[in-house]
Amino acid sequence: MQGSGGRAAMDRPALLRENAPGYAAVALANIAREFPADVWHTVRGPEDLPRRPRERTPVFYGSFDWHSCVEMHWLLVRLLRSVPDVIPAADIRAELEARFDGAALAAEARFIADPDNRNRERPYGWGWGLALVHELAAWDDADGGRWAERFAPLGDALAANFLGWLPLATYPIRYGVHTNSAFGISLALPHARDRAATGDARLLDALVGAARRWYAGDVDYPGSWGPSGFDFLSPALTEAELMAQLLPGPAFAVWLARFLPGIAAGEPRALFTPVVVSDARDGHIAHLHGLNASRAWCWRRLAEALPADDPRAAVARVAMARHAAAALPHAMGDDYTVEHWLAAYAVLLLA
């Protein structure tokens, strides 16, 4: 097993330090790998045929698709912030300095603002983009500060996308893949709080308002109905993770008891049982490795949000460790259908 994902007591800091060099190597290779590429583009006429990936998106052209490339850049920045002494920090900084060019990032902002391109990234790619913007802004580092300034147009474009979409989104998307509403909002929240701290609360108000409108009254979520065959997110657990960010501790504990009333007894079993991946070379089936990883992250977040003496916290920690043990061995060295993105979820869990 890669690292020690199967330890009964999960030592996240140790696992991160043990595996960070490998995660960094995977990310550096992925962001430079232009092909194969999943290029989605609405063609309006013969003059509008799609160009090669690096011509369309000069920063985020690798890692098979736009959002996965954003994830890999986020991974590198998160590792620079959290464990710089165990990764090739100088090499990573040099690579990011070359990539985070102001003109190239302005082109990325134009790309993601174009409605013909942005809808496929809604809200997953938008959320990961703002997670990267936040990661840079939160880093007390000269390089990070300089790169954060260059990212401002892209951050503004992504925020504008959310502000244009959320008032029109009458219903949430309760789905275990990219269109999941709760996960995209969760990723975007830290940046929205950054903007609110500078006096612009529009994005934060829109995200929080949508989440409360969609999820505050949910009860008895049918968690036993999952997973679907190509989920990489749990609709139930991503919603719970988001509400843990929005409700104060006691209120969240009450909400969770209504939403998933069987957690203390390990029910529904489907949410506590790591999923089986029969063929990692199949891009959709391979998503299930991500479901194990994202469930582990969600269980970690729920354990952290509950009172220490709440019996559900201990149950959540066990579920986190079980799902991590199933997912982490596949974050490195697996088929490219998995390796172009899964390490980001490993770092999300561990860092």
Note whether 14 and 145 are same-domain residues: yes
45 is a domain residue: no
Q: What percent of the chain has pLDDT above 70? A: 97
Residue 92, helix vs strand vs coil: helix
Cβ atoms of 274 and 328 within 8 Å: the answer is no
Of 6-10, 39-43, 78-82, the one with minimum mean pLDDT is 6-10
Q: Where are the alpha helices (DSSP H) in the chain?
A: 12-32, 53-56, 66-82, 89-99, 102-113, 115-118, 124-137, 142-150, 152-165, 181-197, 202-215, 235-246, 249-259, 269-272, 287-305, 311-327, 336-339, 342-350
Can you tell me the distance from the alpha carbon of 264 to that of 75, in angstroms, rounded to the nearest whole number? 33
Q: Which of 304, 302, 324, 318 is nearest to 265 (CA)?
A: 318
Determine the pLDDT at residue 193: 98
Using the predicted structure, report yes or no on whether residue 5 has a pLDDT greater than 70: no
Note whether 32 and 132 are same-domain residues: yes
Note whether 158 and 249 are same-domain residues: no
Q: What percent of the chain has pLDDT above 90? A: 92
Using the predicted structure, report yes or no on whether residue 351 has a pLDDT greater than 90: yes
Determine the pLDDT at residue 131: 99
User: What is the domain extent for residue 107?
Assistant: 10-40+50-215
Note whether 91 and 230 are same-domain residues: no
Choose one of 171, 194, 215: the last residue of a domain: 215
Of the pLDDT bands very low, low, confident and very high (cuts 50, 70, 90), residue 6 is: very low
Note whether 273 and 173 are same-domain residues: no
Note whether 27 and 70 are same-domain residues: yes
Using the predicted structure, report yes or no on whether residue 9 has a pLDDT greater than 80: no
Determine the pLDDT at residue 162: 98
Determine the pLDDT at residue 216: 98
Can you tell me the distance from the alpha carbon of 129 to that of 11, in angstroms, rounded to the nearest whole number? 29
Q: Mean pLDDT across the stretch 338-350?
A: 98
Note whether 35 and 148 are same-domain residues: yes
The helix-helix angle for 342-350 and 311-327 (nearest 10°) equals 150
Note whether 184 and 278 are same-domain residues: no
1 is a domain residue: no
Q: How many structural domains compose the chain?
A: 2
Using the predicted structure, report yes or no on whether residue 119 has a pLDDT greater than 90: no
Of the pLDDT bands very low, low, confident and very high (cuts 50, 70, 90), residue 45 is: confident
Note whether 92 and 241 are same-domain residues: no
**pLDDT mean across residues, the chain:** 95
Determine the pLDDT at residue 2: 41
Can you tell me the distance from the alpha carbon of 1 to that of 346, in angstroms, rounded to the nearest whole number? 14
Of the pLDDT bands very low, low, confident and very high (cuts 50, 70, 90), residue 309 is: very high
Determine the pLDDT at residue 96: 98
Using the predicted structure, report yes or no on whether residue 253 has a pLDDT greater than 60: yes
Note whether 277 and 205 are same-domain residues: no
144 is a domain residue: yes
Determine the pLDDT at residue 13: 98
Cβ atoms of 63 and 72 within 8 Å: the answer is yes
In tens, the pLDDT along 162-190 reads 999 999 999 999 999 999 999 999 999 99
Can you tell me the distance from the alpha carbon of 42 to that of 49, in angstroms, rounded to the nearest whole number? 9
Choose one of 199, 215, 231: the last residue of a domain: 215
Note whether 222 and 147 are same-domain residues: no
Choose one of 215, 239, 264: the last residue of a domain: 215
Determine the pLDDT at residue 118: 80
5 is a domain residue: no
Note whether 186 and 250 are same-domain residues: no
Here the tokens at position 269 are 């079993």
Residue type, 104: A
55 is a domain residue: yes
3 is a domain residue: no
Determine the pLDDT at residue 99: 98
In tens, the pLDDT along 280-295 reads 999 999 999 999 999 9
Determine the pLDDT at residue 64: 98
Q: Mean pLDDT across the stretch 101-126?
A: 94
CA distances from 287 to 29, 201, 205, 278 (A): 20, 35, 32, 11
243 Cβ contact partners less than 8 Å away, ≥ 6 residues apart: 211, 215, 216, 252, 255, 256, 259
In tens, the pLDDT along 189-227 reads 999 999 999 999 999 999 999 999 999 999 999 999 999
